Homo-oligomer: A and B are copies of this chain.
Amino acid sequence: MRLAPDQLDRFERDGFLILPALFTAEEIGILCAELDRLSAEDSPQNFRETKTGALRTAMGLHLRNAVYARMVRHPRLLEPAMQILDDDQLYIQQVKVNAKTAYSGEVWQWHYDFATHHNEDGVPEPLALNLHVLLDDVTEFNGPLWFIPGSHKGGPVSAELDTTTTSYPLWCVDNNTVATLTAEDGIVSAKGPAGTALIFGDCLLHGSPPNMSPWNRRIYSLIVNPITNAYTKQSRPEHQHHRSLSPVTPLGDDCLLSAGAT
């Protein structure tokens, strides 16, 4: 799996890529089949919505489940990441599903991931990549990610820790910054059928609205980071930033299908 030159150009210009149909319906089915049980677990790795108790985020999945242990090594996500970073020595920083449950999934405020990675984990540079796979069809109605194209270009902007808006503390940017960064190219909604993949960088400003629709919006997210750019603080729990600095190696292209068969 190699990105084409125009895809690399777009990633550099916009700060993100949307890759339609990167995973098949069968592969998505294998990933989803594991989720109900994982979501039901009473675990500190499962974050729940403040108001309803519905699952917001399930973390540490590759250490909790055999299918997700393969998914973190999937070549269709890892190889593009290695290509973008020009580095095949990456470690697994975070592995989760953001659930955004029908009727109750809450907002993710405007933020960029490096604010958290730098302030909480002491990551030196904004090199980590967030690799998403849509597990449900994502439309304008069920809380898509909203990207601000080009918002990564000036590097990290000012951010403050928000511990009140949702159940998940997050380093967020203020309204003036959002206004400034959207003034040029607006907002892009990362919609697509289940199986669509997204890749975005550590300084890309993004957020997502609540889900008041009757349709779930589950998204798988793997964050990888160069080993040379690893965390220097351990203030967050292991499942929010994994400690192992072993390089992650891709499996075969059929790794999910063969997992489903076992």
List residues of A whose CB falls within 8 A of some B CB: 102-103, 107, 109-110, 140-141, 146, 175, 178-179, 182, 187, 189, 207, 209-210, 212-214
Contact = CB atoms under 8 A, between A and B. Distances in A.
Task: Please state the number of chain copies in the assembly.
Answer: 2
Given A140-B140, A140-B189, A141-B189, A175 B103 contact: yes
* Most B Cβ at <10 Å: residue of A103, A109, A182, A187: A187
A107 to B, nearest CB: 6
B141 A187 contact: yes
Nearest to A164: B51
Contacts of A179: 214
B103 A178 contact: yes
A210 B209 contact: yes
A86 B130 CA distance: 57
Q: Shortest 3 CB-CB distances between A and B: which pairs?
A: A140-B140, A179-B214, A103-B175
Nearest to A144: B140
Nearest to A107: B212
Nearest to A146: B141
A187 B109 CA distance: 25
Contact of A212 (B102, B209, B213, B214): B209
* Most B Cβ at <10 Å: residue of A109, A140, A189: A140
A218 to B, nearest CB: 17
7 contacts: A102-B175, A103-B175, A140-B140, A141-B187, A175-B214, A179-B214, A207-B212
Nearest to A182: B214
A178 B110 CA distance: 28
B213 A210 contact: no
* Most B Cβ at <10 Å: residue of A178, A189, A210, A214: A214
Nearest to A104: B175
B210 A187 contact: no
A212 B110 contact: yes
Contacts of A109: 212
A207 B141 CA distance: 11
A41 to B, nearest CB: 24
Contacts of A209: 209-210, 212
A112 B226 CA distance: 52
A165 to B, nearest CB: 9
Nearest to A110: B212
